[in-house]
Structure 1
Amino acid sequence: MVSKVCLRCNRPLKNPLSQERGYGPECWKKIQQHVEKRQDYPLPCSISDPIIASETLAEISRRARVANRKKCDCGKSLVSGEVKTYDHDCGETLAGFSHPQWVYLTCPKCGYQWAYWKLRGPSLKDLSEPQSTPNPCEVDMSPRRLF
């Protein structure tokens, strides 16, 4: 992909390398710093059964490949992106994990983390295990008549 303007700040790109990356030198530094910073601090991920969690992530990866969004804003295909999760109260309840998980896919080029729901992929509801405690984000909070 060749871009004539920076995908981050919209300034014109003159350098061929910058045009190929899609980012000017200053924006590219900021993106790289952001990616390195995120890699230094891995987020917690509560796995209750490593084998089942691995199978669940493999299925999510398959579903992400058929999602409606195929490319990152940087122009790179998301097909080779890595699916990851971390503990999140409003995340998906998934088999193999003891806490709800926020599911995202990382762009292999720029490192942007795409939330699974932004990919508009198939639902993950069928990948959950029955839980004794409900996910607080899935509790019905609609008003009820008291009389």
Structure 2
Amino acid sequence: MPFKETFSEFYSKVKLSLEDGTFAKLTLAKTIGNTDLMNIYVRPILDENTLKLELKFKFQREELFEIHTIDSAFSRLLEFINNPFLSAILFSTEFDLTYKLNKKRAVSVIEQFPSFTHASPVILEYLERKS
């Protein structure tokens, strides 16, 4: 997969934000053309006191859900980079990080001011239980 290395670097920031309690949400967006799959929304969940990720696949007519470990979610999301999604956005309380492909499929990663002031409540609950 041509984008594995660059997306892996981006995903390492996702994992770090989960670990340090700043993760708000992750979204894959900006599709190529008119596709049935419109977005993938990623949010943390607790499954038997284990932190996992719920992937919500938003199609034009339905929504499907999958639950993954943090590591297996990477492989699943990587399948959709460049087909059909051109961007992934990590929303954290410290910054928003956008992984973006342009028309020539060159990758850029842009850090911006955070959109969220509060981390996901699930992350905060998980970190509280761990300590």
TM range (shorter): under 0.3
Higher Cα radius of gyration? 1
Bigger proportion of residues as strand:
2
Using the size of structure 1 for normalisation, the TM-score is 0.24
Question: TM-score normalised to the size of structure 2?
Answer: 0.26
The higher relative CO (CA closer than 8 Å, separation ≥ 6) is in 2
